[in-house]
Amino acid sequence: MTAAAKQTEARREARTEARFSQLDSDDAAAQRRTHSRYAVDLDVSLGSDHNFYAGFAENLSSGGIFVATHLLKPVGSSIELSIHLPDQDEPICGKGEVRWVREYNERSDMPPGMGIRFNEIEQAAVDAIEQFLRQREPLFFDED
């Protein structure tokens, strides 16, 4: 085995958390979160290119959502979303972009899934999300 192959194998063995893939950006400001995230337990329907599947939202903000699912789309993919909020007759619908994915890792308790940024969503849907989130405590606070 070559030295490079040994290093790669050692990195694989040392990995104890899930593996992430994300869009690259040189702009540090683009990497900062602009919306507080909230822990949720919601059903989400996803669709793209004639595929339709379901996942579970684990956290939500007015700017995006993390969907726990084993059916990962590539980073940069466009995806249609339907978020089922409690006390809402109709789901919140819109489109987003996959910004990062977390792959399954048997040594991690972190679920696989996708971080999706909303990029086409009606203002009424954003208002409904914000109203829903006002009833919850944020997961953490970003420092300015």
What is the tally of structural domains in the chain?
Answer: 1
DSSP 58: E
Q: Is residue 74 part of a domain?
A: yes
The dihedral region occupied by 34, where left means phi > 0, alpha psi between -120 and 50, and beta the remainder, is: alpha
pLDDT, tens only, 112-140: 999 999 999 999 999 999 999 888 777 65
Rounded to two decimals, the pTM is 0.70
Partnered with residue 52 across adjacent β-strands are: 47
50 lies in some domain:
yes
User: Cα–Cα distances in Å, from 91 out to 24, 58, 94, 96, 135?
Assistant: 32, 17, 10, 15, 18
- 122 within domain boundaries: yes
- List the domain range (segments joined by +) for residue 92: 17-133
Residue 53's CATH number:
2.40.10.220
Q: Give the phi and the psi of residue 82 in degrees, each rounded to 5.
A: -130, 115
According to the model, what pLDDT value does residue 13 have?
47
Domain for residue 12, yes or no?
A: no
pLDDT of residue 139: 65
Within 38-142, where are the H helices? 123-133
- pLDDT mean over 34-48: 80
Which of helix, strand or coil describes residue 23? coil
What pLDDT, on the 0 to 100 scale, is given for residue 115? 94
**Count of residues making up the chain:** 144
The verdict on residue 58 lying in a domain is yes
Residue 81 domain-assigned (yes or no): yes
For residue 20, pLDDT over 90 is answered with no
Nearest 5 degrees, angle CA 31-CA 110-CA 85?
Answer: 75
The residue among 84, 102, 95 whose CA lies nearest residue 118 is 95
H or E element in which residue 46 lies: strand 38-48
